[in-house]
Amino acid sequence: MATSEELFSRAQRHIPGGVNSPVRAFKGLDQAPVFIERAKGAYLFDVEGKRYIDYVGSWGPMITGHADDDVLSAVRDRLDNGLSFGTPTAIETDMADLICEIMPSMDMVRMVNSGTEATMSAIRLARGFTGRDKIVKFEGNYHGHVDSLLVKAGSGALTHGEPSSPGVPASLAEHTITLGYNDSDGVRDFFAAEGDQVAAIIVEPVAGNMNCIPPAPGFLETLREVCDAHGSVLILDEVMTGFRVALGGAQAHYGVTPDLTCLGKIVGGGMPVGAFGGKRHIMEYISPLGPVYQAGTLAGNPLAMAAGITLLNKIRTPGFHDELTQRVNTLCDGLEARARAAGIPLITQRAGGMFGIFFTTATDVSDFDAATHCNVEAFRQFFTGMLARGIYMAPSNYEAGFMSSAHSEQDLQDTLDAAEHVFAEMTS
Ligand code: PMP
């Protein structure tokens, strides 16, 4: 039986870094990534048979736990009919109806294959609809590896963006403006100067790619306000928050109505799915109704739709998200109490079924700068200690944690017991 370490060294021969998505490589953690063989409920099982209580949930989709019996049987039921037809299917309409019912800001929706495709398409649509090139994003927000969105702030106030990855043309990045997350004044100032040239604001309504940072009171409302005042499109990237922060996503939780919404993760039930949608008069700009081109050979794949629809219907049960939030509170309150007892500076931040753990003396973390000033070494010790004790936390201090309804009270207590041991080791 090969170990994870052996599999990782074999993987690196033909796969860059041994992984098909960078964060899986456990870079900077002095530890080979764990190779997983199977998963069920709250648990991952690695190739050596070790069990982990999992708080990553395939980075979000597994909100009812891994290998959900209902999701699997919905996929199995469709399997023998064929994998893909490249034609319209009734189940795509079922999915569109369901999404638009759960998220009433969406009159129309188009399915794609990933969150990246959703944000890429929404940006193109917003530019096509407004006839403008500039887009505004926020520091520390991630929207997939879209060229226009792999952009960091230029130096100085009100300067235009610079590529954050080689391969992104500077001539494209200059159309992206990166502002401070939760900085409503910065947004107002920028829009006062250049708002009439802005096609869209795209934002993570809870930032989940710099740990977990909820929106400050008034921040999302400010975005809505400046978009209305300047004819710009407000895009909420709910790839992570959709169906997780609340059934209706962050837009329901915080009461802000976007023009366009991007979805991914839960909407596909663990299959490769994304979606973007919103107001009818904007969505009608999409081909074949309108001039903005967007397409996909496998988009709306029937097996993926079956998985996603089944999962969405399951989590519509009244009280589902309240219970999920309760589990997050039990875990986060427990971690804070145990860290405090051990004398370790730690805070948590939460939004529905997602949470963040920050090793910091600060009382809250509300922007990218604060997120980058947490104690990386403490996180590394915590992560590796928890992993050794069979608890799989996100392998980066910039990633949010995800709870599932499969996490039992015992799982949470076991996690807190493990944390108590790890905190004791960290201070010894
Ligand atoms: N937007 C957000 C908010 C995300 O968290 C992610 C991925 N974690 C994406 C977009 C990109 O989604 P995908 O990885 O499916 O392309």
> Which tens digits make up the pLDDT trace of 373-389?
999 999 999 999 999 99
The reported pTM is 0.97
- State the sign of the Cα–Cα–Cα–Cα dihedral 54, 59, 62, 67: negative
What is the bridge-based pairing of β-strands 134-138 and 176-179?
parallel
How many Cα atoms occupy the beta-carbon half-sphere of 192 within 13 Å? 7
- Tell me the CATH number at 410: 3.90.1150.10
Q: Amino acid identity of 204?
A: E
pLDDT digits (tens, 9 = 90+) for 264-310: 999 999 999 999 999 999 999 999 999 999 999 999 999 999 999 99
Active site residue 237: yes
Gap between the Cα atoms of 310 and 390, Å rounded:
30
Same domain, yes or no, for 268 and 286? yes
Please name the residue that has the structure tokens 């007892």.
341
pLDDT at 157 over 80: no
Is the distance from the beta carbon of residue 209 to the nearest atom of ligand 1 less than 6 Å?
yes
pLDDT (average), residues 342-351? 98
Active site residue 398: no
Question: pLDDT at position 152, please?
Answer: 86
Instruction: ipTM value, please give it.
Output: 0.99
Contact present, 204 and 258 (Cβ < 8 Å): no
Same domain, yes or no, for 280 and 418? no
Whose CA is closest to atom 12 on ligand 1?
A: 115
The closest-lying atom of ligand 1 relative to the alpha carbon of residue 59 is 8
Choose the catalytic residue: 43, 52, 142, 181: 142
pLDDT at 60 over 70: yes
Same domain, yes or no, for 268 and 336? no
Domain endpoint, select from 314, 349, 376: 314
Ligand 1, from 62, 240, 263: best to mutate by most atoms within 8 Å of Cβ? 240
* Both structure tokens of 146: 């879209």
388 lies in which domain range?
4-64+318-427
Is the distance from the beta carbon of residue 114 to the nearest atom of ligand 1 less than 6 Å?
yes
First-to-final CA distance of the chain = 36
Q: Which residues of 115-148 are buried (b: 16+ CB within 10 A; e: fewer)?
A: bbbbbbbbbbbbbbbbebebbbbbbbbbbbbbbb
- The crossing angle, in degrees rounded to 10, of helices 219-230 and 184-194 is 10
Q: Which residues of 24-58 are buried (b: 16+ CB within 10 A; e: fewer)?
A: bbbeeeeebbbbbeebebbbbbbbeeeebbbbbbe
Same domain, yes or no, for 38 and 180? no
Same domain, yes or no, for 370 and 286? no
Is the distance from the beta carbon of residue 240 to the nearest atom of ligand 1 less than 6 Å?
yes
Same domain, yes or no, for 77 and 55? no
Bridge partners, 136 (sequence order): 177, 201
- To the nearest 5 percent, what fractions of the chain are helix, strand and coil? 40, 15, 40
- Tell me the CATH number at 263: 3.40.640.10
**DSSP state string for 307-366:** HHHHHHHHTTSTTHHHHHHHHHHHHHHHHHHHHHHHT---EEEEETTEEEEE-SSSS---
Number of helices and strands in the chain (H, E): 14, 16
